[in-house]
């Protein structure tokens, strides 16, 4: 079968309801009587958002929280105690290694800044836990390879927080538009982000607050002077802790397209970009970037601009899939099918679940449109744990999407197209690019080796 005409089904665990038959209201496919002991590493914004969705759907007991920000940790403990059935406060830890050595946990959620995803995830699977880890899975490509190797070696289920694969209206778009062939042959895909999300300030460096262990927060990353842009939630402005907008926003949309179109590794990756407009900010990430992921006879082209206008105000962050019979636009908020010539245009919005989960209305900092997808993503993960299968956003898929975005940044840095060898996890014939697959760790932290995890 032609890859562009055969699109696999996925996102097991979502039952059909309203929303054209694909609502986030699901019949749980996991053991609803089993109480799962859960630990969270990284108790900030998305850590709490994801964890509290788990508590909405399963009889989980959060037994431990870990963070290097004592103020943030104490706040998270209060919120979790108010939301879990037992009413108990989790035990609190400053160092994830101590938490993993002292606690017996079924699930560990890793929701740290990107530069801290790898080591806690590997330590957690070694400790016998299944893991939910945020995207992108790693700060460099070798980390991602090591994380995959560890998950397989210790036979643990690892779900990556790329929940577009569990977003109800996007599942509907896959089944109703793509699987029914309404686009015809697909020849081009654009993914993009035009949010003005890059930090523009340039505040002075200062001493870290007393409640933050900045040495531990920095961990294996290069030591920069503390700046209030960095913590909390501002660390994505710096390449020392992230992969910029490529690693934050592109990875979501590129992964979504890979899932929708059943794409594996790109054969080649090219990219250009840099800081073209906002040269006065302290941020070190690009404000403008173009990247192309070459898949046989299909190119997936990414563009971000942290300035200027979006070509389509309804889709400032999303994907557009072009076929010879029509066009499909997708985002976290909606999808639109535009037929070529005669035919029925189809539009669907995200569905909220406020009646079933009224706390979604009032929870601080929750991205309300993401809540149904997070619940479905947890449902899928718990089902995979129970049957020891692969979740919809398995660590291997997270590795492919994350490493591809990292390779795009490397391609922009070296100024040439990279050919990727997925069997040997290296760039073909390019020693300079291969050296950039691994970022040096700051002592005393040691970079994991995929061959010895």
Distance CA 186, CA 182 (A): 10
Alpha-carbon distance of 181 to 184, in angstroms, equals 5
Residue 82 lies in a domain: yes
pLDDT for the residue numbered 53: 98
Q: What pLDDT was estimated at residue 4?
A: 31
* pLDDT reading at 98 higher than 90: yes
Give the model confidence (pLDDT) of 227-281 as tens digits: 999 999 999 999 999 999 999 999 999 999 999 999 999 999 999 999 999 999 9
Q: Report the chain's mean pLDDT, rounded to a whole number.
A: 94
∠ Cα 405 411 412 (to 5°): 95
**Residue 441, in any domain of the structure:** no
Query: 218 and 329 in one domain?
Result: yes
Q: Does the pLDDT of residue 19 top 70, yes or no?
A: no
Are the C-beta atoms of 46 and 134 separated by less than 8 Å?
yes
Same domain? 59 vs 137: yes
Above 50 in pLDDT, residue 335?
Answer: yes
Sign of the C-alpha dihedral, residues 224, 230, 231, 236?
negative
In a domain, residue 103? The reply is: yes
Q: What is the pTM of this model?
A: 0.94
Helices (H), 131-276: 141-153, 168-173, 214-218, 244-245, 251-261
pLDDT of residue 26: 52
Number of compact structural domains in the chain: 2
| 442 DSSP 8-state letter | P
How many beta carbons lie within 10 A of that of residue 121, not counting itself? 32
Residue 442 lies in a domain: no
Residues 158 and 197 in one domain: no
| Helices vs strands, H then E, count in the chain | 13, 16
Q: pLDDT tens for residues 153-205?
A: 999 999 999 999 999 999 999 999 999 999 999 999 999 999 999 999 999 99
**What size, in residues, is the chain?**
453
Which tens digit of pLDDT belongs to each residue from 302-329?
Answer: 999 999 999 999 999 999 999 999 999 9
Separation CA 120–CA 138 (nearest Å): 11
Residue 124, token pair as written in the block: 């957690």
Quick check: is 409 in a domain?
yes
Give the whole-angstrom CA distance, residue 374 versus residue 57. 10
In a domain, 88, yes or no: yes
Q: What integer is the mean pLDDT of 96-105?
A: 98
Residues 389 and 413 in one domain: no
Q: In which domain, by residue range, is 148 found?
A: 26-164+379-394
pLDDT band at 7 (very low <50, low <70, confident <90, very high): very low
Contact 317, 306 (CB under 8 A): no
d(CA 54, CA 376) in angstroms, rounded, equals: 9
One domain, residues 234 and 266: yes
DSSP letter, residue 91: E
Q: Is residue 368 part of a domain?
A: no
The verdict on 389 and 340 lying in the same domain is no
Residue 69 has pLDDT above 70, yes or no: yes
Tell me whether residue 234 is exposed, middle or buried, using C-beta atoms within 10 angstroms of its C-beta: 0 to 12, 13 to 18, 19 or more. middle
Res. 114: pLDDT tops 60: yes
Task: Give the pLDDT of residue 29.
Answer: 86
Q: Are 317 and 249 in contact (CB under 8 A)?
A: yes
Name the band, by pLDDT with cuts 50, 70 and 90, for residue 8: very low
Q: Name the one residue in this structure whose structure tokens are 């499909």.
A: 328
**Does 371 map to a domain?**
no
For residue 368, what pLDDT band results from cuts at 50, 70 and 90? very high
Q: What is the pLDDT of residues 22-39, one digit of tens each?
A: 444 456 789 999 999 999
Q: Do residues 226 and 321 both lie within one domain?
A: yes
CB 155 within 8 Å of CB 148: no
CA nearest 117: which of 127, 107, 132? 132
Residues 199, 159 share a domain: no
Residues 332, 204: one domain?
yes
- Confidence (pLDDT) at 27: 63
Q: What is the CATH number of the domain that holds 289?
A: 3.30.360.10
CA dihedral 197, 202, 208, 209 (to 10 degrees): -70
Rounded Cα–Cα distance for residues 59 and 72 (Å): 25
Rounded to 10 deg, the angle between the 395-414 and 251-261 helix axes is 120
**Same domain for 99 and 179:** no
If asked whether residues 113 and 204 sit together in one domain, one would say no
pLDDT given at position 28: 76
Q: How confident is the model at residue 438 (pLDDT cuts 50, 70, 90)?
A: very high
For residue 2, the model assigns a pLDDT of: 35
DSSP H/E element including 126: helix 118-126
At 73, list the tokens: 């940790």
How far are the Cα atoms of 6, 32, 58 from residue 29, in angstroms, in the given order?
Answer: 26, 8, 11
In the block, tokens 């089904």 appear at 9
Q: What are the start-end ranges of the E strands in 101-215?
A: 107-110, 130-133, 158-160, 186-193
Q: Are the beta carbons of 165 and 256 closer than 8 angstroms? A: yes
Per-residue DSSP letter, 233: T
346-349 and 326-330 beta bridge pairing: unpaired
Q: Are residues 315 and 407 in the same domain?
A: yes
The CATH code of the domain that includes 384 is 3.40.50.720
- pLDDT(6) > 90: no
pLDDT score for 269: 98
Q: Of 341, 370, 394, which marks where a domain is finished?
A: 394
Which structure tokens are listed for 276?
């073209």
Residue 121 has pLDDT above 50, yes or no: yes
Residue 318 phi, psi (nearest 5): 180, -155
């Amino acid at each position: 079968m032609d890859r562009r005409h055969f699109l696999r089904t996925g996102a097991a665990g979502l039952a059909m309801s309203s929303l054209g038959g694909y609502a986030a209201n699901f019949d749980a496919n996991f053991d609803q009587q089993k109480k799962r002991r859960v630990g969270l590493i990284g108790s900030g914004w998305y850590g709490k958002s994801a964890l509290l969705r788990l508590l909405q759907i399963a009889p989980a007991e959060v037994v431990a929280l870990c963070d290097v920000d004592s103020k943030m940790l104490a706040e998270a403990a209060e919120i979790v105690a108010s939301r879990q059935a037992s009413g108990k406060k989790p035990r609190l830890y400053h160092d994830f290694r101590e938490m993993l050595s002292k606690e017996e946990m079924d699930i560990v959620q890793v929701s740290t800044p990107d530069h801290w995803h790898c080591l806690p995830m590997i330590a957690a699977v070694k400790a016998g836990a299944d893991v939910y880890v945020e995207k992108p899975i790693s700060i460099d490509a070798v980390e991602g390879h090591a994380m995959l190797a560890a998950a397989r070696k210790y036979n643990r289920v690892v779900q990556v927080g790329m929940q577009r694969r569990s977003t109800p209206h996007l599942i509907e778009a896959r089944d109703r538009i793509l699987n029914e062939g309404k686009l015809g042959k697909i020849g081009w895909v654009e993914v993009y982000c035009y949010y003005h999300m890059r930090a523009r300030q340039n505040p002075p460096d200062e001493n870290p607050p007393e409640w933050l262990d900045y040495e531990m927060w920095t961990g294996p990353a290069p030591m920069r002077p503390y700046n209030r842009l960095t913590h909390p939630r501002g660390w994505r402005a710096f390449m020392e802790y992230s992969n910029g907008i490529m690693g934050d926003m592109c990875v979501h949309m590129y992964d979504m397209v890979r899932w929708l179109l059943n794409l594996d590794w790109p054969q080649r990756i090219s990219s250009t970009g840099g800081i073209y407009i906002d040269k006065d900010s302290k941020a070190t990430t690009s404000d403008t970037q173009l990247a192309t992921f070459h898949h046989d006879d299909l190119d997936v082209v990414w563009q971000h601009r942290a300035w200027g206008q979006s070509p389509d105000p309804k889709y400032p962050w999303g994907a557009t899939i072009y076929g010879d019979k029509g066009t499909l636009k997708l985002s976290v908020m909606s999808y639109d099918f535009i037929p070529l010539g005669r035919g029925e245009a189809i539009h669907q919005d995200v569905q909220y679940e406020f009646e079933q989960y009224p706390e979604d209305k009032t929870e601080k900092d929750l991205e309300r449109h993401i809540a149904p997808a997070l619940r479905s993503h947890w449902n899928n993960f718990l089902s995979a744990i129970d049957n020891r299968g692969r979740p919809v956003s398995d660590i291997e898929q997270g590795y492919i999407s994350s490493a591809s975005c990292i390779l795009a940044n490397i391609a922009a840095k070296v100024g040439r197209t990279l050919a990727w060898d997925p069997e040997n996890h290296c760039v073909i014939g390019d020693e300079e690019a291969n050296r950039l697959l691994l970022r040096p760790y700051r002592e005393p932290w040691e970079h994991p080796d995929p061959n010895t995890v």
